[in-house]
Amino acid sequence: MHSYTLLIQHAAQVLTLAGGPTDRPLAGPDLAGWTIIEWGYVACVDDKIVAVGPMDELDLARISPETRLIDATGCVVMPGLVECHTHLVFGGNRAHEFERKLRGESYLDILASGGGILSTVRATRAASEAELLENALHHLAGFQAYGVTTVEAKSGYGLDRDTELRLVRVARQAGRQQPVRVVPTFLGAHVVPPEFKAAGPQAYVDFILREVLSDLKGEAAYVDIFCEQGAFPLDVSRYYLEQAHKMGFGLKIHAEQLHDLGGCEMAAALGATSVDHCDYLTPAAARRIAQQTQGQTVAVLLPLVPLFLRQSQYAPGREFIDNGLPVALSTDFNPGSCPSKNLWLALSVACLKMGFTPKEAVAAATLNAAWAIGHAADCGSLAPGKRADLLVLNVGSVAEIPYWLGENPVREVVIGGL
């Protein structure tokens, strides 16, 4: 037997996220049904977890002089956070619009005036590839400091062929240049670019389907679309996702963020891996989605977005959970609706405004977030065989995690065993 290369021991609590079903995301009571080991350890060999258990079951024979020991006395040990919805790569920022928003302008009003997403599109098109990469690396370092070990990264601020492909390329390159794993998603259908303003949303998605998607095979596993007033209507969104699915892409959607257009149910019926935002998704529709998809589609909830957009409507997470819909949590990190990488804060706001319990919130930002990006086989829980992505936190129990509002509880971040 190989001796351990890393042993994290004496943890007050090991949040395993294990013990539930392994063939689908956690839903209903399973979201909080996973195992916590008191006074436990996690052992790794190279980049993989090999054993997790209580201290009195630790195999002392596998500790050698080469084993790196981390003493986690008084600490929580848990899997690295999984950020399943971000817009990582962009140019500029929107601090100027923050002031407009504080004066009372709405998100869609700012977009309709040519600002919002379109202002970031202008800044992104003007940026060099090297600048975009430098920004992305800066943000990934920030995520890592918060204990995020996997980050989904959407394109969507190019809205032309070359810039969109550049954004996916930059995301992949950023993933190779530092330890946090980056999972790119293609969001070329974010809004209709100025060049297609006259021709309209259908003409723009036809262009993407015809001229862009074939170059993304193997570069991005998922396509995403923003189904909303001022972005893409339901029928165009359906057509786009159907066609992309035929080309072999997994599906995601931004839907029910500001209005109930039926985008989540539509995408779920097409087999979407996730439906994201869901602030206006009703509990009844959530129940139908859970039943129709047999619990395979994850609703990704983004509690910092209504907070930052000064909206009172938050996704009814409690009802979603009680109706059996699997839920995940993410920041939605982007320059417009959430310029924060603090996923811990998102967990706190999910408890305070969406009715999550601390245990549910942790599961939603680890294992279920991994399901939402198709990576549950290799991250999101502390199970033998998974990648050694682990956190040691400066708190002693799971309840403390969302309690210390706005703090970063991370003491140590391990990615791939290092």
Residue positions forming the annotated binding site for Zn(2+): 85, 87, 254, 332
Judged by CB, which is closer to ligand NIG: 225, or 414?
225
Judged by CB, which is closer to ligand NIG: 103, or 246?
103
Does 224 participate in binding Fe ion (rule CB under 5 A)? Answer: no
> 275: which strand partners?
253, 299
Judged by CB, which is closer to Fe ion: 4, or 90?
90
Residue 257 beta carbon to Fe ion: minimum distance, rounded to whole angstroms: 8
Q: What angle do CA 370, 79, 279 make, to 5 degrees?
A: 45
**Segment contacting ligand NIG by CB under 6 A, of 115-123, 198-206, 289-297, 316-324:** 115-123
Does 334 participate in binding ligand NIG (rule CB under 6 A)? Answer: yes
Q: Which residue from 175, 201, 336, 409 is in contact with ligand NIG, where contact means CB under 6 A?
A: 336
**Segment contacting ligand NIG by CB under 6 A, of 44-52, 116-124, 211-219, 236-244:** 116-124
Tokens 């054993």 — which residue?
51
| Chain residue whose CB lies nearest Fe ion | 332
Does 332 participate in binding Fe ion (rule CB under 5 A)? Answer: yes
Give start and end residues of each alpha helix (H) in 247-342.
263-269, 283-292, 304-308, 317-322
**Segment contacting Fe ion by CB under 5 A, of 71-79, 90-98, 166-174, 326-334:** 326-334
- Restricting to residues 245-284, name those near ligand NIG by CB under 6 A: 254, 257
Is residue 20 within 8 A of residue 13, CB to CB? The reply is no
- Quick one: which of 77, 84, 83 has its CA closest to 38? 77
Which tokens in the block code for residue 165?
Answer: 């492909």
Detail the residues annotated as belonging to a binding site for 4-imidazolone-5-propanoate: 94, 157, 190, 257, 337
| Chain residue whose CB lies nearest ligand NIG | 336
Does 86 participate in binding ligand NIG (rule CB under 6 A)? Answer: no
Judged by CB, which is closer to ligand NIG: 185, or 297?
185
Exposed e or buried b per residue across 186-216, where buried means at least 16 C-beta atoms within 10 angstroms of its C-beta: bbbbbbbbeebeeeebbebbbbbbeebbeeb
Distance CA 11, CA 72 (A): 5
- First vs last C-alpha separation in the chain: 21
Is residue 318 within 8 A of residue 286, CB to CB? The reply is no
Does 340 participate in binding ligand NIG (rule CB under 6 A)? Answer: no
Does 83 participate in binding Fe ion (rule CB under 5 A)? Answer: no
Is residue 264 within 8 A of residue 237, CB to CB? The reply is no
Does 256 participate in binding Fe ion (rule CB under 5 A)? Answer: no
| Backbone φ, ψ for residue 79 (5° rounding) | -65, 155
Judged by CB, which is closer to ligand NIG: 87, or 181?
87
Binding-residue total with Fe ion (CB under 5 A): 1
**Segment contacting ligand NIG by CB under 6 A, of 65-73, 280-288, 314-322, 327-335:** 327-335
Size of the chain in residues:
418
Tokens 């080309």 — which residue?
247
Dihedral angle over CA of 126, 132, 136, 139, nearest 10: -50
Does 120 participate in binding ligand NIG (rule CB under 6 A)? Answer: yes
SS3 401: coil
> 273: which strand partners?
none
> 181: which strand partners?
150
Which tokens in the block code for residue 170?
Answer: 């930059």
Judged by CB, which is closer to ligand NIG: 230, or 374?
230
Kind and range of the H or E element at 202?
Answer: helix 201-211
Judged by CB, which is closer to Fe ion: 279, or 332?
332
**Segment contacting ligand NIG by CB under 6 A, of 74-82, 124-132, 333-341, 359-367:** 333-341
Judged by CB, which is closer to Fe ion: 177, or 313?
313
**Segment contacting ligand NIG by CB under 6 A, of 68-76, 204-212, 328-336, 372-380:** 328-336
Site residues, ligand NIG (CB under 6 A): 87, 116-117, 120, 226, 254, 257, 305, 332, 334-337
